[in-house]
Amino acid sequence: MSFRRAHAISVVPFTLCMLFCGTSMASVCEDPGTVSYVSATVVDHDISELEHGLGATEQTNQELQILAQGPATLSFGFSHRYSKFDFAGIEPQTNAHLHTSTFALHWRRGNSHGNMRAAAAPTLSASSNVLGHPQKYNSDTLQLSLALVRQQRLSESVIARYGLCGDDRFGRYRFYPTAALEWRPHPDWEIDLGFPASSVTYRITDSLSSGLRAAPDGSEWHVMNRDFDAESQFVYEAYAVEWLFGFEPGRHLSLVAGIGRQLRNSFEMTLRSGERVSVQSGPVDRVSVEIRWRF
């Protein structure tokens, strides 16, 4: 094996994580990698028109992620995502300032030929007023995200992954199968095709990378009105497709910028009037920026 190929194999897994782990909502279904880091991400969406002329919404996400490698086969993660939906034309029961805090534990056992990864992540998912009042928490506020994923090397350039996951990235919490084939036809290319996420990555130079990624980007939150006398579930479904550009100016620092499209947007929510509605909105452009520090 040449030095260039050995070098590429060692750095590409981090490049993939650098490009993709922080630019969409963290999910225990996806491998967090083996490098400790802290990252901050902002994703800004354009205005999206609601169907039937009901109004419009504008979305912004801010996310903090931390991954710490523990002893032996364990790693620990924390993420907090703040999502703000600014509605015009309709009045949701909540102010649509929504928070998701995830505390993840990953366990991995195996070697370079194959391994098993199990993950569990207690999650708080609620509107801002609920999050600040723990006495208002109930079974709808708390989730337990789970993943059991097997990875098997089929050849020098092909890896298969398959397993079972449970989280709310499709909107409402559900269990779903996951499967993918990771193909590296060249040290600078990696093609990862599967469900629920797919990606293609190209390392341009040792410090520059680019790639495409498609993945679900929904969630579910327990919400209450300002007076705490009405509550419901706010459910958002979407699929994000992004073109990402990564830059590593140094050993520890990584920067990622992305442009993309948010597709198949839909909302299930209760209005201030008490009416429960299901509303779709049109596709919308999005831009993202992430800064990551490895330690």
Give the mean pLDDT of the chain: 90
The mean per-residue pLDDT over the stretch 194-223 comes to: 96
Q: Is the pLDDT of residue 27 over 90?
A: no
Interacting residues of 1 by C-beta distance below 8 A, sequence separation 6+: none
Instruction: Give the separation between CA 157 and CA 249, rounded to whole angstroms.
Output: 28
Peptide bond into 196 cis (omega under 30): yes
pLDDT band at 113 (very low <50, low <70, confident <90, very high): confident
What is the per-residue pLDDT for 87?
95
- The predicted model gives 228-237 an average pLDDT of 95
| Class in CATH terms, 3-294 | mainly beta
User: How large is the average pLDDT for residues 12-34?
Assistant: 63
pTM score, whole prediction: 0.89
Above 50 in pLDDT, residue 184? yes
> How confident is the model at residue 24, as a pLDDT?
54
The Cα–Cα gap between 180 and 33 comes to 16
Q: Examine the pLDDT at 21 and tell me if it is beyond 60.
A: no
